[in-house]
């Protein structure tokens, strides 16, 4: 089995010309596409329709090749778009394909492997609670078994968390507790599900009460967004496996805060890349294919004991500040502006920080 990654920079949210051309020229077999992840230039807020526009455009291109309606493309391919390309971040899409057959014996070196799965459908009462944590952990564990990898081999788990629709009878769960059916609760429970599957937390540490409350519990490899009206969560797991071949690998680290340059250097070092005078040389920057990070403006109002105003600025959203800062750091060090930075990182890295992962060519 082999994973391939194709990156296309876009001129607007609906620009799928690069993908369409790659399919037409035979570079990409649409049947092999597992996931498409992208950044659009919207505001990243609830009224950011650039994500929907991008997904519609991609679905229309793929539908004809997958012999299905555009509405059913998401049943076949995970589509995950994040709005907000502030500062130097360049809007782009990443297309992940899987090809080949299962190896009969392990290879001497590990290479990038990925697989996708869905959780079972959730009810509104289950979102943000241990039911969601356990079901997410079950799905992640199943993906590890599929790829024949251990938790230490996993470097990124990308999730679009479920937020099922409410109906007139949905006022609480059977115990009379309030609903948690929103983005923050879906993200938090999903991230803890990843942490549970990867052994970063134990079942005994978890309960409904710690979700979005105890920030000492987190995953160093979860990257979670959430989508209203989505009934089941969509998961893509990235790992290095000795059962896969190719020329790509993935590495990760945890940024302790949004100015943690050392963590970014550590990820690149794992890939055999050494920044010179703080930045990768152009020849090494070309070896970087995908950069992912989760970030948040620290809600405690301080970074390294210095006060920040990202949460109190009425003109600019704290999310946009955070994405801009982390994107600038990543681009400045890697020499590559095609970076994917997503905000709202409940239980995704330590409070005020977040995971960072890089896919690149093996050295």
With bands split at pLDDT 50, 70 and 90, how would you rate the model's confidence at 47? confident
- What's the number of domains the chain is made of? 3
Compute CA distances 18 → 33, 95, 337, whole Å: 15, 11, 18
Query: Does one domain contain both 42 and 139?
Result: no
Identify the domain boundary among 99, 122, 137: 99
Query: Does one domain contain both 257 and 302?
Result: yes
Q: Is residue 346 part of a domain?
A: yes
Range of the domain at 38: 2-99
With bands split at pLDDT 50, 70 and 90, how would you rate the model's confidence at 353? very high
CA gap 42, 183 in Å, rounded = 18
For 247-277, write each residue's pLDDT tens digit. 999 999 999 999 999 999 999 999 999 999 9
18 is in an annotated binding site: no
CATH number of the domain to which 125 belongs: 3.30.1330.180
Angle at which helix 183-197 crosses helix 130-147, to 10 degrees, equals 50
Query: Does one domain contain both 124 and 57?
Result: no
345 is in an annotated binding site: yes
CA gap 49, 254 in Å, rounded = 30
Structure tokens at 149: 């990898």
pLDDT at 229 (0 to 100): 92
CATH number of the domain to which 44 belongs: 3.30.1330.170
Q: What is the mean pLDDT of residues 50-73?
A: 96
For 204-246, write each residue's pLDDT tens digit. 999 999 999 999 999 999 999 999 999 999 999 999 999 999 9
Q: How many CB atoms lie within 10 A of CB 167?
A: 9
Query: Does one domain contain both 74 and 138?
Result: no
For 279-318, write each residue's pLDDT tens digit. 999 999 999 999 999 999 999 999 999 999 999 999 999 9
Q: Is residue 174 part of a domain?
A: yes
Q: Is residue 243 part of a domain?
A: no
Catalytic positions are 160, 225
301 is in an annotated binding site: no
With bands split at pLDDT 50, 70 and 90, how would you rate the model's confidence at 169? low
Query: Does one domain contain both 83 and 60?
Result: yes
With bands split at pLDDT 50, 70 and 90, how would you rate the model's confidence at 117? very high
With bands split at pLDDT 50, 70 and 90, how would you rate the model's confidence at 176? low
Identify the domain boundary among 208, 238, 268: 238
68 CB-near residues (< 8 Å, 6+ apart): 75, 76
357 is in an annotated binding site: no
Q: Is residue 212 part of a domain?
A: yes
pLDDT at 174 (0 to 100): 47
278 is in an annotated binding site: no
Compute CA distances 337 → 7, 92, 129, whole Å: 12, 10, 37
Query: Does one domain contain both 202 and 317?
Result: no
296 is in an annotated binding site: yes
Look over the chain and give the mean of its residue pLDDT values, rounded to a whole number: 95
Query: Does one domain contain both 89 and 168?
Result: no
Query: Does one domain contain both 115 and 225?
Result: yes
Query: Does one domain contain both 224 and 270?
Result: no
Compute CA distances 320 → 18, 46, 86, 157, 325, whole Å: 27, 13, 7, 23, 9
pLDDT at 45 (0 to 100): 82
83 is in an annotated binding site: yes
Identify the domain boundary among 60, 77, 99: 99
354 is in an annotated binding site: no
- Closest by alpha carbon to 322, among 309, 335, 334? 309
Q: Is residue 106 part of a domain?
A: no
Query: Does one domain contain both 339 and 297?
Result: yes
pLDDT at 168 (0 to 100): 60
335 is in an annotated binding site: no
Query: Does one domain contain both 132 and 231?
Result: yes
29 is in an annotated binding site: no
CATH number of the domain to which 308 belongs: 3.30.1330.160
105 is in an annotated binding site: no
With bands split at pLDDT 50, 70 and 90, how would you rate the model's confidence at 87? very high
pLDDT at 336 (0 to 100): 97
Determine phi and psi for 328, rounding to 5 degrees.
Answer: -65, -40
343 is in an annotated binding site: yes
Query: Does one domain contain both 118 and 176?
Result: yes
Q: Is residue 244 part of a domain?
A: no
323 is in an annotated binding site: yes
Q: Is residue 191 part of a domain?
A: yes
Q: Is residue 345 part of a domain?
A: yes
Phi-psi region of 252 (alpha: psi -120 to 50; beta: other; left: phi over 0): beta
């Amino acid at each position: 089995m082999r994973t391939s990654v194709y990156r296309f920079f876009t001129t607007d949210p609906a620009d799928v010309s690069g993908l369409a051309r790659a399919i037409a020229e035979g570079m990409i077999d649409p049947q092999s596409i597992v996931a498409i992840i992208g950044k659009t230039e919207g505001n990243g807020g609830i009224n950011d329709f650039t994500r929907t526009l991008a997904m519609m455009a991609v679905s229309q291109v793929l539908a004809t090749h997958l012999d299905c309606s555009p509405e059913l493309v998401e049943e076949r391919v995970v589509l995950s778009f994040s709005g907000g390309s502030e500062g130097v971040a360049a809007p782009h899409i990443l297309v992940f394909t899987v090809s080949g057959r299962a190896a009969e014996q392990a290879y001497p070196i590990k290479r990038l492997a990925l697989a996708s799965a869905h959780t079972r459908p959730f009810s509104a009462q289950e979102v943000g609670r241990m039911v969601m944590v356990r079901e997410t952990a079950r799905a992640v564990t199943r993906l590890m078994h599929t790829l024949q990898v251990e938790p230490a081999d996993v470097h990124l788990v990308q999730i679009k968390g479920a937020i099922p629709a409410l109906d007139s009878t949905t006022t609480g769960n059977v115990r009379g507790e309030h609903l948690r059916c929103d983005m923050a609760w879906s993200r938090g429970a999903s991230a803890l599900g990843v942490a549970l599957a990867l052994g970063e937390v134990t079942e005994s540490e978890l309960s409904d009460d710690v979700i979005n409350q105890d920030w000492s519990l987190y995953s160093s490899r979860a990257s979670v967004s959430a989508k209203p009206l989505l009934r089941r969560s969509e998961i893509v797991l990235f790992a290095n496996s000795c059962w896969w071949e190719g020329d790509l690998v993935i590495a990760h680290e945890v940024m302790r805060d949004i100015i943690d340059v050392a963590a970014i250097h550590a990820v690149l070092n794992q890939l055999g890349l050494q920044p010179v005078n703080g930045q990768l040389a152009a020849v090494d920057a070309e070896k970087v294919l995908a950069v992912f990070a989760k970030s948040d403006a620290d809600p405690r109002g301080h970074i390294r004991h210095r006060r920040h105003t990202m949460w109190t600025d009425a003109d600019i959203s704290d999310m946009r500040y955070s994405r801009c800062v982390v994107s600038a750091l990543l681009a400045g060090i890697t020499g590559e502006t095609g970076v994917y930075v997503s905000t709202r990182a409940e239980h995704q890295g330590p409070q005020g920080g977040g995971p960072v992962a890089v896919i690149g060519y093996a050295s």
